Structure formats: structure tokens, C-alpha cells
Amino acid sequence: MNQEMTAGASKSSATAAKKHSKKPKYRLASEIQQELLEGSLKLKAAFGELSKAGRRLEDSRFTQQELPAWKPILTPAWVIAAFVLIGITFIPIGLASLFASERVVEIVDRYDDGCFFLNTNQSLLLDYIRNPKSNKTCTRRLTSLLFSVLSNLTTLIFQVPKKMRSPIYIYYQLGNFYQNHRRYVKSRSDKQLRSRKGEDEIKDCQPIAKSGEKPIVPCGLIAWSLFNDTYAFSLKNKALTVDKKDIAWKSDKEHKFGSDVYPKNFQSDGLIGGGKLNHSIPLSEQEDLMVWMRTAALPTFRKLYGKITVDLEANETITVVIQNNYNTYEFGGEKKLVLSTTSWIGGKNNFLGIAYLCVGGICLFLAINFILMYIFRPRGFYADAEEEEKDEEDY
């Protein structure tokens, strides 16, 4: 093969042959060696480059924790700006909230103590309220309110303080009623409420789960204690219609309470805890039940009863005939009837407005204080640091 190579080399060009002809064969091998050496050095260099690049990847800004950062400092400017900002946003919010709350017209009337003197014999009181057929007349005068009781009826007469624009919401307010008690809240069966197939899912409803052998629909203490006072309003001897549609949450009507679920064996035996239900109306249309079953968060709460869709002028006299059925006397509860308009803030509640005003005011006061403090007792920021640097240099 070597002979062919040398022959080939000499064949290709005379000058090349002259160059190569002088070199013996062993030099050709060493040339190859040299090339190999150079090649391996290049490879090594290439690997070196790669590994350096690799190390550079590892030494990224993330692992060396040198990501670009924002380092906040509480300079006087920031502090004062923060307080002023809170002050100037909170005070208008507070004023707006207070204004909205003041615009709400609310009539609240407690009626459960209407006919009864407070030191009535408790057992007589309880007998009266428990008896579904009790028939008593009672007259009582309270400033501008007149009461007359006929069987379980109580009549309230009151005046509208300011003009109330529709819709006017009617609520019943209960006090000292712990709908948020643990056992009470759990005593329901959402599966049963949702569809007829879940009728037998009554394990959480004890003790109001079965009537004999058959399941109660809807079971549980919450449904059993359904509120059943009714109110009939009249203005100038003409009845005011109360709109009882759409008082429950839409999500409840559509998904939580099934349209194929009908009440069964409800309040049929044993202790009756509240109102009865019409067994021929499905649960998805029983709005009072839905409103009642949305358990309240606090022991004093309101629930929507209905709406009045006409305006009420100031100083108009409204007469309410109340069916005082619900037994809150056993546990010292309170019942109140509330008529209220609403604003963007909801019902009448001055708390948010006052709280925002206070916090805003405090912040502005603090801002002024800090401004004075920074003027009269300045703490130089850079100056402190420079002093410390000088100390270090003394070492």
C-alpha cells in the first residue's frame, strides 16, 4: 500500500513528489502522530469550553442568588406617603358608606312581647303559644302603637318615618337564636333536598329523620324549625301585596333544592317545631323553606320574607296583622319585623362608614405627626452609614 501511495504521490505533481520523496516513511507516521496530537488537543480544548459553559450555566443568577431585586426601605417619604394614601382613600369611602347607610330607611318593630307582660307566668305563656287553637284577646298600648290580639294575631300600627322607595324588603329578625350551633347546622341532608333519589339519605338528620318507618322529607332540625309567622300589610284599609317570589338565592332554587322533591311526613307527629309545608309543592318552589335553610352566621339575624313593590310616603300609617305562631318564648328569643330599603351598601349599618372614617382619620393624623417628627428630629440615613464607615477605617 505504501508503494502505491508513494507511486501515487509522485504521479500527482512533481513538486509534491519532490517534497515527499525526501521524507522517509517513518516521518509520515510521525506526521500522523502529530495530527492526532493536535486533534486531541483541540478536542480537549473543545471539552474545556463545554465544561466552562456548563459551569457558567450552574453559576446562573438564580443559583448564585443574584437575581435583580427591588429592595424597599422605609424612608420618611414612603412612610408619609403610605399614611396619606390610606387617609385620602379611606375617608371618602367612609363618607360614602355612611351616607348610603343613612339614606336607608328602616322600620324595626319587636312584636313577640306585644301582648304579654314580661312577668307573666312562664308556663301559661308556653301553654298559650303551644296550643294551636288558643283564643285570647288582649289589648295593650305602647306610645303610638296599638295592639289587639285575637287568637294568635297581633296587630301593629306604625308610621313611615321617611319616604321609602320600592322595592321595600320585609324581613323577620330573630334574636338569641343560634342557627350556627354545630348540631343544628349539621342536621340536614343536602342529598335528600337535591333529588328524590336521595330520599333515604337521612343519617345526619337525627332526631328528625323518620316518622315511624318512613323518612321525613325534608329531614333534620333546620327544616323542622321552619319559621311560620305571617304578616299581612294594609295601607289606608287597602291591602298591600307582598311579593314572595325570588326571595331565595337563585343557586338554591336551581341546584340545591330539587324540583322533583316533595315534602313527605313533614311535621306529622311528635313535637312540632315550626311551620308546616304544602305537600303538593316541590321544594324548588318553597322559597320560605329555602330562605330558612340558609343557616345564619350569627345569633341575631334577619331573613327575607318578601317585598313591597310600591313606594311608601312619609307619615303614612301601615297596619300589619301578624300571625304570632312561632315559639321563641321557650328559649328567650326575640322576634322583630323589619321593613327596609336598600342601598349599595346593603341594609342600614353605620359600622363600615364609621370604621373607614376612623382609620382614615387616624392615618392622616399619624401622617402629620410623622411629618413633624421628621422635621424636628431628623434621622439622616446616609449620614449614619458614613459615620460607621469612618469607624471601620480607624481599625
Partner 1 sequence: MSNTLFDLATSCRVVLCCRVAPLQKAGIVDLIKSRTDDMTLAIGDGANDVSMIQMADVGVGICGQEGRQAVMASDFAMGQFRFLKRLLLVHGHWNYQRVGYLVLYNFYRNAVFVLMLFWYILFTAFSTTSALTDWSIPTIVVGILDKDLSDKTLLKYSKLYGAGHRHESYNMYLFWIMMIDTLWQSLVLFYIPVFTYSESTMDIWSMGSLWTIAVVVLVNVHLAMDIQRWVSFTHIAIWGSIIITYACVVVLDSIPYFPNYGTIYHLAKFPTYWLSILLITVLALLPRFIFKVIRQTFWPSDIQIAREAEILRKRRSPTRSW
List contacts with partner 1 (CB under 8 A).
Answer: 65, 67-74, 79, 82, 86, 90, 93, 97, 171, 173, 178-183, 185, 190, 194, 249-252, 255-256, 294-304, 344-347, 349, 351-352, 355-356, 359, 362-363, 366, 370, 373-374, 379, 381-382, 384-386, 388-389, 392
Cell numbers given for 98: 355612611
Instruction: CB nearer to partner 1: give 57 or 67.
Output: 67
Give the angle subtended at the CA of 348 by the CAs of 345 and 351, to the nearest 5°.
80
Identify the CA nearest to 337 among candidates 106, 42, 151: 106
CB of 314 to partner 1, least distance (A): 24
**Which residues 6+ apart lie within 8 Å of 260 measured at CB?**
195, 196, 282
Instruction: CB nearer to partner 1: give 234 or 350.
Output: 350
DSSP state of 257: S
Q: Rounded distance, CA 383 to CA 113, Å?
A: 73
Instruction: CB nearer to partner 1: give 235 or 359.
Output: 359
CB of 362 to partner 1, least distance (A): 8
Cell numbers given for 94: 367612609
Give the SS3 label for residue 105.
coil
Instruction: CB nearer to partner 1: give 269 or 392.
Output: 392
Give the SS3 label for residue 11.
helix
CB of 114 to partner 1, least distance (A): 20
Instruction: CB nearer to partner 1: give 25 or 182.
Output: 182
CB of 379 to partner 1, least distance (A): 6
Instruction: CB nearer to partner 1: give 99 or 351.
Output: 351
Give the angle subtended at the CA of 193 by the CAs of 192 and 195, to the nearest 5°.
70
CB of 304 to partner 1, least distance (A): 6
CB of 94 to partner 1, least distance (A): 10
**For residues 100 and 344, is the Cβ–Cβ distance under 8 A?**
yes
**Which residues 6+ apart lie within 8 Å of 6 measured at CB?**
20, 21
CB of 178 to partner 1, least distance (A): 6
CB of 344 to partner 1, least distance (A): 6
**C-alpha distance from residue 29 to each of 37, 156, 214 (Å):** 12, 122, 105
Amino acid type, 158: F
CB of 364 to partner 1, least distance (A): 13
Report the greatest alpha carbon distance in the chain.
143
**For residues 231 and 322, is the Cβ–Cβ distance under 8 A?**
yes
DSSP state of 66: -
**C-alpha distance from residue 384 to each of 5, 71, 343, 388, 391 (Å):** 85, 19, 55, 7, 11
Element (H, E) at 142: strand 137-142
Instruction: CB nearer to partner 1: give 160 or 357.
Output: 357
CB of 73 to partner 1, least distance (A): 6
Instruction: CB nearer to partner 1: give 100 or 160.
Output: 100
Q: Spell out where 329-374 has E strands.
A: 334-340
Cell numbers given for 229: 309567622
Identify the CA nearest to 301 among candidates 342, 347, 350: 347
Instruction: CB nearer to partner 1: give 26 or 70.
Output: 70
Instruction: CB nearer to partner 1: give 149 or 248.
Output: 248
